[in-house]
């Protein structure tokens, strides 16, 4: 897969799956624009740019802020160039039973995981539409497809973003813009590690939790960020030139491939 001619925006780029996606895209020659609201981690990423003189720009953005997103996308298009591809990886996880969840946790979960993706896709694809080309990949979750105890707000926000991307793909197919989803299962990042209460955390995820009707992982391992990034790059690439509105689940079989 070659991305040497592409300008690619990645949100959630400072950590986890987004950061791995940035690194793989840079290795494949892309000009990458990294967006995140984690200034400390973004500054670490920026340091890499000066050390390795690579095609990387970083911007601190809150994807939940419509004005900030519109401003940064316009700035990128004016000062760097036409955006060819977009990866939406930013996300938050607020755990809790639905009937005791706070308004703040509910609203913030949707603001970042769903509305944030909407802001980015609207700003980028309106410009892609003028050029009749582009590709979008949003990182959803296998939790969008199966009920998960104490993750109801998150799962609902991911089900919404999955539907959002499929509808966007339908609307933009005639403009040669492909929109797809990667739905990871348990992946070794900060978001996953917040769930591990002790050293046995990973093994317990792999073995499952029948008390919460949670299957284990048939492939008997937690995903690495590279497992997810490979799926993201495939759907971004020309190898997926006839794929749109697809939801590629990368979860080691944890949801038994259920639709
Ligand atoms: N780790 C898992 O087990 C797992 C499984 C399925 C799906 N996912 C999804 O994968 C994506 C990446 O998550 P991750 O596991 O790499 O977690 P992570 O916490 O390591 O990375 C998430 C990134 O999003 C950024 N972010 C959060 N809110 C933001 C905002 N308002 N504006 C801009 N950036 C913001 C964070 O700063 C962080 O850099 C998320 O959408 C997550 O829901 C993760
Ligand atoms: O372990 C899991 O299945 C998950 C943990 C955190 C977020 C993910 O979307 C979810 O798949």
Domain membership of residue 74 (yes or no) is yes
* Cα 192 to averaged position of ligand 2 atoms, centre (Å): 6
Domain membership of residue 208 (yes or no) is no
Q: What is the CATH number of the domain that holds 183?
A: 3.40.50.720
Domain membership of residue 15 (yes or no) is yes
Domain membership of residue 212 (yes or no) is no
Q: Report the mean per-residue pLDDT for the chain.
A: 96
Q: What domain count does the chain have?
A: 1
Domain membership of residue 134 (yes or no) is yes
Which atom in ligand 1 lies closest to the alpha carbon of residue 88?
A: 41
Q: What is the DSSP letter of 187?
A: B
* Cα 88 to averaged position of ligand 1 atoms, centre (Å): 9
Most confident range (mean pLDDT) of 40-54, 123-137, 195-209 is: 123-137
Which atom in ligand 1 lies closest to the alpha carbon of residue 111?
A: 31
Average pLDDT rounded to a whole number, residues 122-131: 98
Read off the pTM: 0.98
- Show the CA angle centred on residue 254, arms to residues 248 and 258, nearest 5°: 60
Helix, strand, coil shares of the chain as percentages rounded to 5?
50, 15, 35
pLDDT one-digit tens code per residue, 130-179: 999 999 999 999 999 999 999 999 999 999 999 999 999 999 999 999 99
Average pLDDT rounded to a whole number, residues 98-120: 98
* Cα 186 to averaged position of ligand 2 atoms, centre (Å): 5
Look up 59 and say whether it is catalytic: no
pLDDT at 192: 97
Q: How far is CA 259 from CA 99, 140, 181, in A?
A: 27, 14, 14
> Looking at the predicted complex, does its ipTM rise above 0.95?
yes
The number of the ligand nearest the C-alpha atom of 215 reads 2
Which atom in ligand 2 lies closest to the alpha carbon of residue 191?
A: 6
Domain membership of residue 195 (yes or no) is no
Average pLDDT rounded to a whole number, residues 83-102: 98
Domain range for 89 is: 7-187+224-250
Domain membership of residue 121 (yes or no) is yes
First to last CA, the chain: 29
């Amino acid at each position: 897969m070659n991305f040497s001619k592409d300008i690619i925006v990645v949100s959630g780029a400072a950590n986890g799956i987004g950061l791995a996606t940035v690194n793989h895209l840079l290795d494949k020659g892309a000009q990458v624009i990294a967006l995140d609201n984690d200034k400390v981690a973004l500054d670490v990423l920026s340091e890499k740019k000066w050390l390795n003189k690579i095609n990387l720009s970083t911007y601190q953005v809150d994807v939940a802020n419509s004005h900030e997103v519109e401003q940064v996308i316009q700035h990128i298009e004016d000062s760097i160039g036409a955006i060819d591809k977009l990866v939406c990886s930013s996300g938050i996880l607020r755990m809790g039973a639905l009937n005791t969840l706070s308004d703040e946790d509910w609203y913030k979960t949707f603001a970042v995981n769903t509305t944030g993706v909407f802001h980015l896709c609207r700003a980028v694809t309106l410009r892609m539409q003028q050029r009749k080309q582009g590709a979008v990949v949003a990182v959803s979750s296998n939790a969008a497809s199966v009920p998960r105890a104490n993750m109801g707000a998150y799962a609902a926000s991911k089900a919404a973003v999955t539907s959002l991307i499929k509808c966007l793909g339908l609307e933009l197919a005639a403009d040669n813009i492909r929109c797809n989803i990667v739905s990871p299962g348990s992946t070794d990042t900060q978001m996953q590690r917040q769930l591990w209460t002790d050293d046995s955390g990973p093994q317990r995820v792999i073995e499952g939790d029948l008390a919460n009707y949670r299957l284990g992982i048939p492939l008997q391992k937690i995903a690495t960020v590279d497992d997810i990034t490979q799926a993201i790059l495939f759907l971004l690439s020309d190898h997926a030139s006839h794929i749109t509105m697809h939801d590629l689940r990368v979860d080691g079989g944890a949801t038994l491939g259920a639709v």
